[in-house]
Structure 1
Amino acid sequence: MARTSTSIELPVPDFKVWELIGGFDALPDWLPFIPFSKLSEGGRVRTLTTQDGETVIERLEAFDNSRHFYTYSILQAPFPVTNYTSTLAVHQNDENSSRIEWSGEFTPVGISDDEAITLFRGIYADGLTALAESLSDSEHTTQV
């Protein structure tokens, strides 16, 4: 089983970050390479469509609104891994800043652990960069 984790620190309170990313259906609100999400099974399964038209189906495994995290697994995706589980979490640094962490573990199929780790580390890093940009854009919009 391979594991990777990426984090970013932002000058935004944890609750504000969680307001944007905390919904299991919220990826299109901040992640440009996921423009579409549809919930099913009472909100526990999301079907994502990527910019390239690929489909990713994920199941919500754990959710804690007060601790600002959720864990999900992949049911179907074009990735060369199985047994994928990931957690997206927001941690408070102080009242005006937070650390967002995206981590995952998975079993590579047909590629090395290092190749799979590089793939998901890149996805997480690109996602957290997009999150920072979304929060920056909304901050500027709020201040105007």
Structure 2
Amino acid sequence: MNRWATTALVASQLLLSNAVFAHGPTPQKIDESVVIQAPIEAVWEKVSDFNAIADWHPSVESSVPTDEQGTRVLAFKDKGTITESLDELDADRHYLGYRLLEEDIDVFPVSFYSVSVELTESDAGTEMLWQGRFYRADTGNFPPEHYSDEAAVEAMTDFAQDGMNALKAELEGQK
């Protein structure tokens, strides 16, 4: 084999090996928190009512329960709807966990998520921890920018922070 053919063969094998090692999305996460100057029970009363998120989250227009098992359809202002399912509600721990059942990547650029919200007492009132684990909207190897990992992290972070800050303002009497 001549030198040119050998170089071409090696180059094609390198290109093919990169394709073999390409992979889909990796799990992303957010861990957001805020301290609300209010008793834990007052915060829990708001957060634990799974279908009342529209009462305090500025992005949510409505939350409609679809069954008695804790499934809701959230309608977003000027965006669309998604369906979520309540997985766990623990009043003793002040903890709730839920997940995405039906996506709308125009609402959130994610293909799946699970979220937990946990409250703990602090010297200043109540610490609210909002954690999310999720995958970007486009699960292919080369997603467009608006469906990338970065877009998913930004959307989930903004949603958590906007909700927590609105709840903080309401419960601290700043709304």
Q: How many residue pairs are counted as aligned between the two chains? A: 138
Where does structure 1 lack aligned partners over 5 or more consecutive residues? none
Q: Distance in 1 between matches of 2:103 and 2:112?
A: 12
Which position in structure 1 is the counterpart of 2:98?
72
Q: Which moved more, 1:15-24 or 1:47-56?
A: 47-56
**Larger Rg, first or second structure (1 or 2):** 2
Corresponding residue number in structure 1 for 2:76? 50
CA-atom RMSD in angstroms: 1.8
Pairing of 1:1-144 with structure 2 (within 5 A): 1-78=27-104, 79-94=108-123, 97-108=125-136, 109=138, 110=143, 111-137=147-173
Q: Give TM-score, length-normalised by structure 2.
A: 0.72
Unaligned runs of 5+ in 2: 1-26
Runs of 4+ more than 3 Å apart: none
Mapped partners of 1:130, 1:15: distance in 2: 17
TM-score, structure 1 as length reference: 0.86
CA shift at 1:53, angstroms? 4.9
Deviation sequence 1:26-84 (CA, Å, 0-9, x none) = 10121122121111221410011111151111011111111111111111232222231
Q: Which has the higher strand share?
A: 1
Query: 1:21–1:30: 8 Å Cα contact kept in structure 2?
Result: no
Question: Which has the higher mean CA deviation after the structures are superposed, 4-13 or 103-112?
Answer: 103-112
Secondary structure in structure 2 of the residue aligned to 1:16: helix
Whole-Å Cα distance in 2 between the matches of residues 21 and 29 of structure 1? 10
What amino acid is aligned across from residue 136 of structure 1 in structure 2? E
Q: 1: CA distance between counterparts of 2:38 and 2:88?
A: 24
- What letter is aligned with 1:97? G
Are 2:48 and 2:89, in contact at CA under 8 Å, matched by a contact in 1?
no
Partners of 1:5 and 1:104 within 8 A in 2: yes
